Each structure stands twice: as C-alpha cells, then as structure tokens.
Amino acid sequence: MNQSSLETLGLSLSRKGSELIRKLSASTPLVDLILVESSLEEFERKVMGMRPRLLIVEHDPANQPQLDLLERLRISASWAMVVALSPSKDPDHIINAIHLGVREYLIVDQELGQNFKDAMLRLNMPGQSGESARGRIIAVTGAKGGVGTSHLALNLTWSLSQDQAHRSVLVDLDIFGGNQAFMLDVSPDKDISLISRNFDQLDDVFLDSLLIEITPGMRLLAAPEDPAEAETVTPDHVLAILGRLARSHSFVVLDLGDGLEDTTLAALDKAERILMVFEPNLVGLKAATRMSSLLDRLGHEKGKLWPVVNRTNSRKAITANQIESALNRSVAAWLPNEYPNITEALDSGRPLLRIKPKSKWGTSLRELAEKVAQWQGEEE
C-alpha cells in the first residue's frame, strides 16, 4: 500500500484544541502537520498560499465566523480536505458541517484517537483529493443465474478497498433479489429505494447517509428488502446515484445479478467495465455468448466487456481456446472451484478474502482486482 503523508494545516479555537490537533497528527505517519493557526484570517491566508491537502479544524457549530470561513474555503480551496473535530453529536450540526464541505466530522470523545486514524486512512486513499477526481464504475453481471456473481462483486470490492487501498463502494443493483447485506451479515434500515421517495432532496449528504461502512475504505448501498419498494427505483435514480458515488469513491462496483431490467441497462451504460461471470460448461458458454452478442447490439465497445470464468477445474468440459473463440474475446480471469471455502465464507457473513486470504480462489480474485485497478481506460 503506497501512501504518502498529507501536508496539513490546523485551525484551533483554544490551547486545548491546538494540543489535540498536534497530538492526533503525531499519532499517524499519514499526516504531515506544518502548523496550527488560531487566527481565522491568518489561517485562510496560509491555506490559499500554501495549498495544503488537509485541514484539521477545531470546530464550533455556533461560531458563525468559522462557518463563513468554511463556506469560503469550500469554493476557493476545493483541493483541500477538511476534518472537523467537535464535541457536538447533534445531527443538525453534523449535516451542516458536511454541507460546508467537511469530509470527516469526528466527535471528540474517548474513541477519537482510533476514529482519526481510520479517517486518515480513508482520506489518504488514491482518488480522494483533487477537484476533478472521478472514480471508475465497474459492473459485475452474470450471464445466467447461480454463477457466483454477488460473491465475486463483494470480494472484488473488498480487494480494491483493502489490498489496493482504493476507497470503494459496493452497490447492490440486483433490485429484486439483492442479498449483499445478508452476505455481509448486516441489517440496514436504509436502502436504495429511499432515493425514489426523496429524489428531489438527493444530494451528497443524503446519499452518504444511506451507505453502510463495512470496513474503513469499503461501503455498501443495499438493495430493497421489499419487492414493492424495488419497483419504485428507476433508471434516472440509478444514473444520479452512480454519478454522485463516482465523485466520492475511487471505485463503484455494481452487483447487477443476472437480470436485464431497465435499471440494469442504465447501469451497464454508465459502467466503464463490465465483468461477465459464467461457468466453463456448454450451458454457461451459450449464455455468455448470448449476453456478449446483446451487449454488442446495444452499442457497448468490445473492450468494455471482460469475461470472467468462475468455478473452473482441471476437468473442464470446454477448453480455454473454445471459450475465447466463441466469445471473440480474451478471458480476463479464471477463478477455481473452491466450494468448501466459499460456502464457509457465505455462512460466516464475511468476504472469502478476509477469512481465507491465501486460498486459490482468493489469489485469482486478487489478480483480477489488480488488473481492474491498474486499467487506465485504453480499449482492447
């Protein structure tokens, strides 16, 4: 994980606040604290002159001059990421701070030390600073049902966030049958269907409130539990969500299942890569050939589709040459059949890469994740 320290300026409102900023900054090598300023005017001047990547602010939600400063910096210093330290747990204060451009709102309590380190890890991930940063959208779809699409999408997101150190979000767009929350053993009280009921209020703050943090660097936007709610999600909702998520994450991984609803087609259009999952048998190859042909007819460029063969073994009914010849494409990854390990992962509610990091399937998946992370956009 190649990470550099963030050049940092601090803003304190008190001696205690100054000491806290210095102590937190010294607790992690990811922060290079240049100085702590107590004057709002001098702090703003130095931010504009020194252009630090990180600002740590002792935040007082009732301090109007400071609120005005944050609003100015949100516009004039958009390259800088702001971390607010505040004792207030008031949701209105937190939401207002985020509206003012604060990237991380950290409550000053006994958990602050660890929360600060986790926040620095998130902010130091590639693609998190810079005005024009935009994440890549990767769709994972099954040529047919039951081929391990959701399991692959989950572990791909895990690897991109944990192995490759990219801030990533997994979006469960298998609208009528999504089970990512179940597979991760979480019970969300919010899901993607809330977008449809609050579309006129959709902004980054509202969308962020729907995401579940699985581990630092990896988040989940869950599918609806109720099929009736799933009916309310439209292609326009999907496109708006993906556009916003791509501005705040390095990778947006979509679990599309194996359906071809209107929302799925919209997601495929938005994706920069499509990983098509199938098994190495005649039925699987027929389904993959059919989907490949459909995507060609829909106007997707040839290099956008990456075939992924799951559950391979030494007694393949079809050879690699036959598969690639039928698809007229190279296979991006061959993932071995490790049913016992995968079953154990599914039963435990944890990614296989977490509980069996050295498994053969996990090794092959990591190679695929590395290929996805290193891809620069050139078409084949």
Q: 100-115 pLDDT, tens per residue?
A: 889 999 999 999 999 9
Contact 369, 160 (CB under 8 A): yes
Backbone angles phi, psi at 367, to 5 degrees: -65, -40
- For residues 172 and 41, membership in a common domain is answered with no
List pLDDT tens digits, range 197-227.
Answer: 888 888 877 888 899 989 878 999 999 988 8
Mean pLDDT in residue range 277-300: 93
Q: Is residue 13 part of a domain?
A: yes
Locate the DSSP E strands across 177-332: 212-215, 218-221, 251-255, 273-278, 305-312
- For residues 107 and 154, membership in a common domain is answered with no
Q: Which domain holds residue 175?
A: 136-374
Helix and strand totals (H; E) in the chain: 17, 13
What is the spatial distance between Cα 141 and Cα 121, in angstroms, rounded to a whole number?
A: 30
CB-neighbour burial class of residue 148 (10 A; exposed 0-12, middle 13-18, buried 19+): buried
Mean pLDDT in residue range 218-245: 91
Q: Is residue 32 part of a domain?
A: yes
As a residue count, the chain comes to 380
How far, in Å, are 231, 275, 284, 304 from residue 332 at the CA level? 34, 8, 16, 11
Three-class DSSP category at 141: strand
Q: Is the pLDDT of residue 268 over 90?
A: yes
Q: Is residue 110 part of a domain?
A: yes
What percentage of the chain has pLDDT greater than the value 90?
Answer: 65
Q: Is residue 235 part of a domain?
A: yes
What is the spatial distance between Cα 224 and Cα 42, in angstroms, rounded to a whole number?
A: 49
Task: For the chain, state the CA radius of gyration.
Answer: 23
From the list 233, 1, 20, 201, the residue with the least C-alpha distance to 108 is: 20
Angle at which helices 64-76 and 40-50 cross, to 10°: 10
Token digits for 324?
């690639």
Locate the DSSP E strands across the chain: 6-11, 31-37, 54-58, 81-86, 102-107, 136-142, 168-172, 212-215, 218-221, 251-255, 273-278, 305-312, 333-336
Using 50, 70 and 90 to split pLDDT, how confident is the model at 128?
low
- For residues 193 and 290, membership in a common domain is answered with yes
Token pair 């958009």 is at which residue?
A: 78
What is the spatial distance between Cα 172 and Cα 166, in angstroms, rounded to a whole number?
A: 19
- For residues 102 and 150, membership in a common domain is answered with no
Token digits for 322?
């036959």
- For residues 205 and 254, membership in a common domain is answered with yes
Which pTM does this prediction carry? 0.68
- For residues 94 and 172, membership in a common domain is answered with no
Which of 102, 123, 144 is a domain's end point? 123
- For residues 237 and 280, membership in a common domain is answered with yes
Cα torsion 17, 19, 22, 28 to 10°: value is -90
Backbone angles phi, psi at 307, to 5 degrees: -70, 135
Burial 203-228 (b: 16+ CB within 10 A, else e): eeeebeebbbebebbbbbbbbbeeee
Which of 123, 153, 176 is a domain's end point? 123
From the list 6, 23, 17, the residue with the least C-alpha distance to 120 is: 6
- For residues 172 and 115, membership in a common domain is answered with no
Using 50, 70 and 90 to split pLDDT, how confident is the model at 131?
very low
Q: Is the pLDDT of residue 130 over 90?
A: no
Token digits for 268?
């495929």
- What is residue 132's predicted lDDT score, i.e. its pLDDT? 43
Which of 68, 100, 123 is a domain's end point? 123
Report the CATH number that the domain containing residue 33 is assigned in CATH: 3.40.50.2300
Q: Is residue 175 part of a domain?
A: yes
- For residues 93 and 178, membership in a common domain is answered with no
Report the CATH number that the domain containing residue 147 is assigned in CATH: 3.40.50.300
- For residues 214 and 325, membership in a common domain is answered with yes
- For residues 196 and 238, membership in a common domain is answered with yes
Q: Distance from CA of residue 262 to its chain's centroid?
A: 23
Number of domain units in the chain: 2
Tell me the HSE value of 144 on the side-chain side, using a 13 A CA sphere: 15
List pLDDT tens digits, range 298-344.
Answer: 988 888 999 999 999 866 678 899 999 999 999 999 999 988 999 99
Q: Is residue 154 part of a domain?
A: yes
- For residues 87 and 156, membership in a common domain is answered with no
